[in-house]
Structure 1
Amino acid sequence: MINDRKVAIIGCGFVGSSSAFALMQSGIFSEMVLIDVDRNRAEGEALDISHGVPFASPMKIYAGDYSDLGDAAMVVVTAGAAQKPGETRLDLVNKNVAIFKSIIPQIRESGFSGVLLIVSNPVDVLTYAAVQMSGLPEAKVIGSGTVLDTARLRYMLGEHVDVDPRDVHAYVMGEHGDSELVAWSSATVAGVPLSEFCELHGHYQHREAEARIAEDVKNSAYTIIEKKHATYYGVAMAVRRICTAVMRDEDCVLPVSSLMVGEYGLSDLCISMPTIVGRNGVVARVPVSINDDEEKELQKSAAALKAIIEKVDFNA
């Protein structure tokens, strides 16, 4: 039986531990198990985060193993290797798929039947791997996708037009990576088309501004890594947001990565597009209106992912 108040995090590196900290503060769960190949690391993180519980909501936080996953409502996977200098993208994919071959079957064997959230990179390929290996219904396997990219976009657009970023409605779609695209043609601020709202604030060079902001969004992680060697707070907040949407059955729209079944002519790959997210994961994907140029970019992004997927052995 699923315990709706229980979450598990696999991988206690910067992203996993930051996500655990964010979830402790959220009040969504009352039990959290941390799993890591380094048991001492998991125990240390559990102790450290637990000491903040008196300032938040009651929560049991402990280091565990895969046998603790059977009744979890959600499992968040952040484990994986980082790309090293001189390493190709395919090298990284193969390395992390190999790690998933040891992780995902153990999740399956635990009897877990909740929602599986993949955060490890490259997230679209690894979400696809989790779909293939987990035995879970495809709707229950989602990737963090471009949720953080979209938050970065909204933040930058809010700065650009001096408005609360929560009133900016625009999405980053496609691969979480270099081939991602912004659906500019459907972007609005409080229901006003973005270009019109920009002109109200004296901004008329739309193409130049869009190109600059899209590039800044895409390169955000590189910029942060250059300055502090890793990114983890932003993605931890994205994990918290997705978990909240699932556990509160919000049916809200988030650009998570999930298995395509014909949308925009795409199938047999995981990619990010605006998706209604509820208690059982994917409720439905939202066919956001995009123009011809954006459609071409989306197809190009999908082709880049397909080219990787076709070179990888996903058999667990």
Structure 2
Amino acid sequence: MRKYAIIGLGHVGAAVAFQLVSRGIADELILIDTNEGLARAEQLDLQDMQGRIDTRTIIKINDYSELADTDILFITAGNILAYKEKQAQGNRWAEFEYTKDIVQAIAPKVKASGFHGVAIDTMNPCDAITQYFQENTGLSRQQVFATGTFLDTARMQKVVSDQFDCDPKNVTGYVYGEHGESQFTAWSTVQVNGLAITELAKARSLNLDDLEQAARQGGWEVYKGKGYTSWAISTCAVKLSQAVLSDARSAYICSCYSEKYGTYIGQPAIIGKKGVEEVTELPLTVEEEAKFKHSADTIKEKFQTFEKQTN
């Protein structure tokens, strides 16, 4: 029995739920949202479609006690309207002010439920919020991680694949650091069809900084056009969860705890049944390592600000 739960049924949570049900990934799904009507509506909509798909998922709503034997918990709560308002005011850490309240509300309930599975966060600011959730639920750092720069890496793969006319899956390598402004592409890790992009860029006189900027811009174009992002981030979250349930021990980048820098941050890790099985420390250039440290310091600054706001 593959049992999933989702806390927060906004655009991302609903997209995760749709994928879990339509692809037959979840045998049982628990939907939790403060809006009872929304939770019931999503439950009914997903149930209605099951007469036209090849699998069946049992769907329940708003019962934290169901988390006791849940395998995977997605934390996808947020407030997109408040985020847009803060953005208009030029607040760089716009989502901090209300995601902290969400975590404060749900963490004790998750802890009280007896949940002992793996939790995957998509909330923002991703890295700092994930650390706060982990500390306040008492779950291990192994059990709690976030999508982090998994999506940013996919955006990089898309831009590079467009440039080299290949499948995005033929582009390997990682975007490291904060799921935010201090992230960076570690070009020393990137290959296209098995060839180092640094050498390919020289041969084509390509500016890798331009490619990195294009990858960042792509995410903003989605947000500006739709008012939110959903499909790509939900796909990232579901893919990570499948690595857990199948004990795949897959090498993915995600936001997990760095012992070296003392914070959650986007870095490569091995994902298996326990969550983060191990962190993979790839050799970075001196410049990339400096960027990684800067990003870690930025996240820690955010986290310290967060703690001051909640104390």
1:45-90 deviation per Cα after TM superposition (whole angstroms, max 9, x unaligned): 1111222223141111232221221110011010022322216234
Instruction: Give the root-mean-square deviation of aligned CA atoms.
Output: 1.7
Q: Is the 8 A contact 1:246 1:281 kept in 2?
A: yes
Find the counterpart in structure 1 of residue 66 from structure 2.
Answer: 68
Superposed displacement of residue 191, structure 1? 2.5
Residue 81 of structure 1 is aligned with which of 76, 79, 82?
79
Aligned partner of 1:190: which letter?
N
1:228-259 deviation per Cα after TM superposition (whole angstroms, max 9, x unaligned): 21111111111111111111111011111111
Structure 1 position 311 matched with structure 2 position 308: no
Find the counterpart in structure 2 of residue 96 from structure 1.
Answer: 99
Residue 16 of structure 2 is aligned with which of 3, 16, 19?
19
Q: Is the 8 A contact 1:24 1:56 kept in 2?
A: no
Task: Tell me the secondary structure at the aligned position of residue 45 of structure 1.
Answer: helix
Q: Is the 8 A contact 2:155 2:219 kept in 1?
A: no
- Equivalences for residues 201-280 of structure 1 within 5 A: 204-206=204-206, 208=207, 210-262=208-260, 266-267=261-262, 269-280=263-274
Measured in 2, the distance between the counterparts of 1:59 and 1:91 equals 36
- Equivalences for residues 43-54 of structure 1 within 5 A: 43-54=40-51
- Where does the alignment leave 5 or more consecutive residues of structure 1 unmatched? none
96 and 246 in structure 1: CA distance in 2 versus 1, 3 angstrom threshold: same
TM-score, length of structure 2 as denominator length = 0.93
1:174-224 deviation per Cα after TM superposition (whole angstroms, max 9, x unaligned): 00011101010121123321234456xxx6223x2x111211222322211
Residue 160 of structure 2 is aligned with which of 145, 153, 157?
157
**What is the number of equivalent residue pairs in this alignment?**
304
Superposed displacement of residue 91, structure 1? 5.2
Measured in 2, the distance between the counterparts of 1:193 and 1:91 equals 37
Measured in 1, the distance between the counterparts of 2:12 and 2:3 equals 19
TM-score, length of structure 1 as denominator length = 0.91
Aligned partner of 2:188: which letter?
S
Find the counterpart in structure 2 of residue 38 from structure 1.
Answer: 35
Structure 1 position 187 matched with structure 2 position 184: no
Measured in 2, the distance between the counterparts of 1:197 and 1:52 equals 47
Task: Tell me the secondary structure at the aligned position of residue 256 of structure 2.
Answer: strand
* Deviating more after overlay: 43-52 vs 109-118: 43-52
- Where does the alignment leave 5 or more consecutive residues of structure 2 unmatched? none
* Deviating more after overlay: 167-176 vs 218-227: 218-227
